[in-house]
């Protein structure tokens, strides 16, 4: 039963002849994948951001188009009449009378007509 | 008479309620008179064209008669002269009718003087009708010559009637405008929010009203001025027009003062 101490157990850790540890490639691969995944995720995030930005820019342009000033008729805001409503008619009536109405002048007549 | 006009004008100024009461009917009358005047004016314009046509025809026939001097050309000249004289009388009558009707527009401002002017115009219209009746019966050129002389003499008076009517119309219009401004001023002055600082404008209005009355009186006096030479017409119209324009200028200033007052109250 004492021989059992040196018995080669067919496992990598317990075998004294093979002291070299096996290379852990799995960890290295994982880092690359993580790097790749992180790069991909950054790219995806950038794409999403760019998409959002371009979308928002498009909306801004559309709203700018809607805000282009158009020709309108004059508003009453700047033409506020200082005369109260109850006097407007009276003022207009008087104003009409103050407008020059030309006289109907007499016709030109040849007073010598019929005289020799 | 000038003192009477002054009294009427002052009465209108100091009794705005009376003017307000009479406003609706006066406005209707004024509108009707204006419409009637437009009709008479159109008729007058038609008569002017008719007279111009017959007058140029007469000048042409006169030229032909001077050139040939035959019995036919002489008769043609006589007939064309007769027609031109009839058309001239019709034209003058149409003109007198138009200005007579126009006087109704603001007649209430000085009914007596306006009626006098209208009576003069009306009598002249009748006289012109009589002249045309005489012309219808005339068959010799000497008869036309007599009527032409009568017309020439009468025309000095006709001119006086015409220009008096024109001045009267504008006097009445100005008085009416002042009455309306005074009414409005009294209403505005009675507003509770009327400010003490507007007193200066009210004083200005008073002062300008006096100047207005003076210019109106001067224009009126000019229509009464008699010519030194009995048969010569003294043309007062240009001077009267200056006085009337001055009166209107005062009215515009008073109106502007009133606008300033109402604007100040409103703000």
pLDDT exceeds cutoff 90 at B3? no
- Whether residues A109 and B92 touch (CB distance < 8 A) is answered with yes
Cα distances (angstroms) measured from residue B247 to each of A6, A24, B11, B159 = 142, 117, 18, 24
Distance CA B122, CA B100 (A): 8
Q: Answer whether B215's CB lies under 8 Å from B246's CB.
A: yes
pLDDT band with cut points at 50, 70 and 90 for residue B125: very high
Q: What is the dihedral of CA A66, A72, A76, A77, to 10 degrees?
A: 40
pLDDT band with cut points at 50, 70 and 90 for residue B265: confident
Distance CA A53, CA A45 (A): 12
Q: Answer whether B178's CB lies under 8 Å from B13's CB.
A: yes
Mean pLDDT along residues A66-94 = 67
Q: What is the dihedral of CA A52, A58, A62, A63, to 10 degrees?
A: 40
Q: How many CB atoms lie within 10 A of CB A41?
A: 10
Nearest one of B243, B265, B257 to B207, comparing CA atoms: B257
Q: Which residue has the tokens 């008179």?
A: B33
Which residues touch B227 (CB under 8 Å, ≥6 apart)?
B233, B234
User: Quick one: pLDDT at residue B16?
Assistant: 36
Mean pLDDT along residues B69-91 = 96
- Whether residues A107 and B267 touch (CB distance < 8 A) is answered with no
Q: Answer whether B114's CB lies under 8 Å from B103's CB.
A: yes
Q: Answer whether B145's CB lies under 8 Å from A115's CB.
A: yes
Distance CA B173, CA B170 (A): 5
User: Quick one: pLDDT at residue B60?
Assistant: 97
User: Quick one: pLDDT at residue B1?
Assistant: 45
Tokens of A5: 């101490």
Chain B CB contacts of A109 below 8 Å: 88, 92, 155
Cα distances (angstroms) measured from residue B122 to each of A33, A50, B117, B129, B157 = 120, 96, 9, 11, 13
Distance CA B175, CA B183 (A): 12
Distance CA B186, CA B20 (A): 11
Which residues touch B167 (CB under 8 Å, ≥6 apart)?
B219, B220, B222, B223, B236, B237, B240, B244
Sign of CA dihedral B13, B15, B18, B23: positive
Distance from CA of B125 to the nearest CA of A (A): 14
The closest CB to that of B84, out of A95, A100, A113, belongs to: A113
Range with the poorest average pLDDT among B54-58, B153-157, B223-227: B223-227
pLDDT exceeds cutoff 90 at A43? yes
B208: phi then psi, degrees, rounded to nearest 5: -70, -30
3-class SS at A110? coil
- Whether residues B159 and A87 touch (CB distance < 8 A) is answered with no
| ipTM for the complex shown | 0.77
User: Quick one: pLDDT at residue B8?
Assistant: 43
Distance CA B161, CA B156 (A): 9
Range with the poorest average pLDDT among A97-106, B42-51, B113-122, B189-198: B189-198
Sign of CA dihedral A45, A47, A53, A59: negative
Chain A CB contacts of B177 below 8 Å: 94, 97-98
* B interface test, pick of A81, A94, A96, A101 with most B CB neighbours within 10 Å: A94
User: Quick one: pLDDT at residue B23?
Assistant: 54
User: Quick one: pLDDT at residue B196?
Assistant: 73
HSE, CB side, 13 Å, CA atoms: give it for residue A67: 6
Question: Does residue A91 belong to the interface with chain B, where contact is any CB pair within 8 Å?
Answer: yes
Mean pLDDT along residues B44-51 = 97
Distance CA B233, CA B248 (A): 27
Distance from CA of A89 to the nearest CA of B (A): 11
The closest CB to that of B266, out of A84, A97, A106, belongs to: A84
- Whether residues B55 and A113 touch (CB distance < 8 A) is answered with yes
The count of CB pairs under 8 A between chains A and B is: 84
pLDDT exceeds cutoff 70 at A29? no
- Whether residues A114 and B144 touch (CB distance < 8 A) is answered with yes
Nearest one of B179, B168, B190, B170 to B27, comparing CA atoms: B179
Mean pLDDT along residues A64-80 = 50
Mean pLDDT along residues B172-196 = 88
Sign of CA dihedral B180, B182, B187, B192: positive
3-class SS at B119? helix
How far out from the chain centre does Cα B155 lie?
Answer: 16
pLDDT band with cut points at 50, 70 and 90 for residue A33: confident
């Amino acid at each position: 039963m004492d021989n059992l101490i040196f018995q080669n157990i067919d496992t990598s850790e317990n075998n004294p002849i093979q002291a070299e540890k096996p290379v852990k490639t799995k960890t290295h691969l994982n880092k690359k994948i993580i790097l790749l995944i992180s790069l991909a995720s950054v790219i995806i995030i950038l794409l999403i951001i760019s998409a959002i930005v371009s979308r928002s820019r498009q909306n801004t342009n559309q709203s700018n188009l809607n805000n282009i000033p158009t020709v309108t008729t004059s508003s009453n805001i700047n033409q506020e009449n200082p005369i109260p409503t109850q006097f407007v008619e009276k003022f207009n009536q008087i104003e009409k009378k103050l407008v020059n109405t030309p006289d109907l002048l007499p016709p030109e007549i040849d007073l010598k007509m019929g005289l020799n | 008479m000038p003192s009477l006009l002054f009294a009427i004008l002052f009465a209108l100024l100091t009794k705005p309620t009376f003017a307000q009461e009479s406003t609706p009917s006066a406005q209707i009358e004024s509108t009707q008179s204006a419409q009637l005047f437009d009709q008479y004016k159109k008729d007058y314009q038609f008569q002017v064209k008719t007279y111009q046509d017959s007058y140029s025809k007469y000048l042409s026939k006169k030229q032909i008669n001077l050139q040939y001097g035959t019995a036919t050309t002489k008769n043609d000249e006589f007939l064309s002269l007769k027609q031109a004289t009839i058309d001239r009388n019709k034209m003058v009558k149409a003109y007198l009718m138009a200005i007579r009707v126009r006087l109704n527009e603001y007649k209430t401002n000085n009914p007596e003087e306006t009626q006098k002017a209208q009576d003069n115009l009306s009598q002249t219209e009748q006289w012109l009708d009589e002249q045309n009746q005489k012309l219808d019966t005339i068959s010799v050129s000497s008869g036309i010559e007599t009527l032409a002389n009568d017309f020439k003499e009468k025309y000095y008076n006709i001119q006086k009637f015409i220009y008096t009517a024109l001045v009267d119309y504008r006097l009445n219009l100005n008085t009416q405008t002042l009455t309306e401004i005074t009414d409005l001023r009294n209403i505005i002055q009675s507003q509770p929010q009327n400010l003490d600082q507007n007193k200066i404008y009210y004083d200005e209005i008073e002062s300008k009203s006096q100047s207005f009355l003076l210019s109106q009186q001067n224009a009126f006096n000019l229509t009464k001025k008699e010519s030194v030479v009995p048969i010569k017409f003294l043309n007062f119209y240009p001077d009267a027009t200056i006085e009337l324009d001055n009166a209107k200028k005062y009215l515009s200033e008073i109106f502007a003062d009133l606008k300033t007052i109402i604007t100040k109250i409103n703000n």
